[in-house]
Structure 1
Amino acid sequence: MSRTHVVGILGGMGPAAGADFARLFVQACADHMRARGLPVSDQAFPEHWLAQVPVPDRSNALESPGPGGHQPLDPMLQAMGKLAALGATTVAVACNTAHAWHAALQERFPQLEVLHVAREVAQNLAGRGIREVGLLATEGTYRAGLYDQALRQAGVQCHIPSTEERERLMRGIYEGVKAGNMALARECFAGVADALARRHGLSVLVLGCTEIPLALSAVPGTEGLELVDPAALLAQALAQRAFA
């Protein structure tokens, strides 16, 4: 049995996305073992911990800067401390918008490697020769520019939806996925995805919110459009660290 490292997942943003990320991580571990010719068994999976903690809304916090109970950093730091105490060496944050606080998390816990989802996505896209994408995300992710710098440094141009389309995405996230109305979420996400892809002639869209892939796996009527799930790429990166 190969030696593995303890890793952690910072979830709760929302809980469904955190639980789904754990599923993606387990799948990535199994894929990693098969690729290395190792038998897949219960005992071969690395020790991993999922911290599902209540965290204030990230987009609202970015829109209303300043101290207060509406800020998510303190709960995230508390959860990181628990993961560190459990022996985690690497942590993945199962929320795109929460990466606006990535630098603060990494600075407070220098003994841990806190993976950065946008950098993992940019590295993957550039490695596959993709030079132009569309980004579906939360308003907070757009405002924080989380993907802009990472994609630009990797030589990938990023197109974003219009103001009205971004409002539709937020409706799909809050009134759709978070409220359990997947039909509404799918309608909102697919409509924006189709419009963005057709307007810029895109073949690749990045689903830059962990809620979006829960409702959107394909865009009806748009053949050949690739939907990139950052959570899946982040889960693969975490699996690689666990088996390193």
Structure 2
Amino acid sequence: MENVLGVMGGMGPQATTLFYEMLIDNTQAECDQDHINTLILGHATMPDRTAAILSGEEEEIHKRLLEDLKFLESYGCKAIAIPCNTSHYFIDKLSHEINVPIINMVKESAESAAREARERMIASLAQADMFETGFAHEQIGILATDGTIRMGLYQKALDKCGVDWYVPDEETQKLVMYQIYDRIKKGLPADMQAWRQIEMAMKAAGCTKVILACTELSVINQVEGLSDYYLDAMEVLVNRCIEVMGKSKAVKTATADQRWEMFNEFLQGGGDW
């Protein structure tokens, strides 16, 4: 098998399922052979990345991630995607330990958010007199696990792009972790009442755009059809994978109810969405 995309998955399993479905859905294809050759490693027993980072027990995670990367490398993968934001804490070191490029979801998402922010600023200047109203202030919100937030993965990436950022206050962050660990990772639908509280808090803090910087939050986005107020890091990763693998992007749409029904059918082994 040639021109293979390696996927280091299982972190978590639903997010990996979603990644592959999005990869299929968003690749322009007229037949099976037009799709991307993909080798998915579903390491579901990988210890929790957030817990390891916060407890300082990082070495075991690094060791297992490296073993998985070398496995994918041994099969001749052209590039590797990791549909788990928190795991990108290890990516700088890991990328120097293998000879296959790792597509950096955090870097790509930060750069995408920065481009959009600049475009909005230019648009606002074209519509108003900056000497009267000033420049439109852009602030990017970050919704992620405690580990991703604590390690500053997106904060550092956005700093490099010259964009202001905001992370949730303690109470809002608890709601984010509740959605990730007590809802999606347990196979439950998102608590949309709690989600509205999160969104209100981010808007009240002045966020002009919010990055969904956790793949479990990407599940919420794909199922519920969240507004374009959000930038989905998973979508960014999928689009970059399609580009790296030399394919073209296709655009498909579905209602929130259709997405939820099709996603549940897929998890139960009945068809695709």
Q: 1:203 to 1:66 in 2, by over 3 A?
A: closer
Q: 1:210 to 1:74 in 2, by over 3 A?
A: same
Q: Deviations over 1:23-77 (max 9, x none)?
A: 12223322xxxxxxxx632112221111111211011001111367xx4222222
Match for residue 186 of structure 2 among 179, 182, 193: 179
Match for residue 199 of structure 1 among 180, 187, 205: 205
5+ residue gaps, structure 1, are 31-38
Are the aligned partners of 1:205 and 1:225 in contact in 2 as well (CA < 8 Å)?
no
Q: Distance in 2 between matches of 1:232 and 1:183?
A: 19
Letter in 2 for 1:29: T
Secondary structure, in 3 states, of the residue corresponding to 2:7? strand
Deviation at 1:79, TM superposition (A): 1.6
Letter in 2 for 1:197: K
Deviation at 1:183, TM superposition (A): 4.0
* Paired residue total: 224
Are the aligned partners of 2:109 and 2:233 in contact in 1 as well (CA < 8 Å)?
yes
Match of 1:116 in 2: 104
Tell which structure's C-alpha radius of gyration is larger: 2
Q: Distance in 2 between matches of 1:119 and 1:43?
A: 30
5+ residue gaps, structure 2, are 121-137, 248-273
Q: Distance in 2 between matches of 1:106 and 1:196?
A: 33
Are the aligned partners of 1:218 and 1:227 in contact in 2 as well (CA < 8 Å)?
no
Match of 2:49 in 1: 58
Match for residue 71 of structure 2 among 74, 82, 87: 82
Q: 1:183 to 1:210 in 2, by over 3 A?
A: closer
Are the aligned partners of 1:51 and 1:79 in contact in 2 as well (CA < 8 Å)?
yes
Match of 1:34 in 2: none
Deviation at 1:132, TM superposition (A): 2.1
Q: Deviations over 1:97-135 (max 9, x none)?
A: 0000102221211x1101111210122122232542111
Q: Deviations over 1:205-229 (max 9, x none)?
A: 111100012124456xxxx751111
Are the aligned partners of 2:52 and 2:58 in contact in 1 as well (CA < 8 Å)?
no
Q: Distance in 1 between matches of 2:197 and 2:104?
A: 28
Higher alpha-carbon deviation: 19-28 or 7-16: 19-28
Match of 2:90 in 1: 101
Q: Deviations over 1:138-187 (max 9, x none)?
A: 00000111111111111211111001111121111111111122143x33
Secondary structure, in 3 states, of the residue corresponding to 1:182? coil
Are the aligned partners of 2:113 and 2:140 in contact in 1 as well (CA < 8 Å)?
no
Deviation at 1:85, TM superposition (A): 1.6
Secondary structure, in 3 states, of the residue corresponding to 2:77? coil
Deviation at 1:193, TM superposition (A): 2.0
User: Which stretches of structure 1, 4 residues or more, deviate above 6 A after TM superposition?
Assistant: none
Q: Distance in 2 between matches of 1:190 and 1:85?
A: 45
Q: Distance in 2 between matches of 1:187 and 1:140?
A: 24
Match for residue 45 of structure 1 among 28, 35, 44: 35
- TM-score w.r.t. the length of structure 2 is 0.76
RMSD, aligned CA: 2.0
Higher alpha-carbon deviation: 140-149 or 74-83: 74-83
- Determine if the alignment matches structure 1 residue 149 to structure 2 residue 156: yes
Deviation at 1:19, TM superposition (A): 0.9
Deviation at 1:78, TM superposition (A): 2.0
Match for residue 242 of structure 1 among 245, 261, 264: 245
Secondary structure, in 3 states, of the residue corresponding to 1:10? strand
Letter in 2 for 1:63: L
Q: Distance in 2 between matches of 1:155 and 1:124?
A: 12
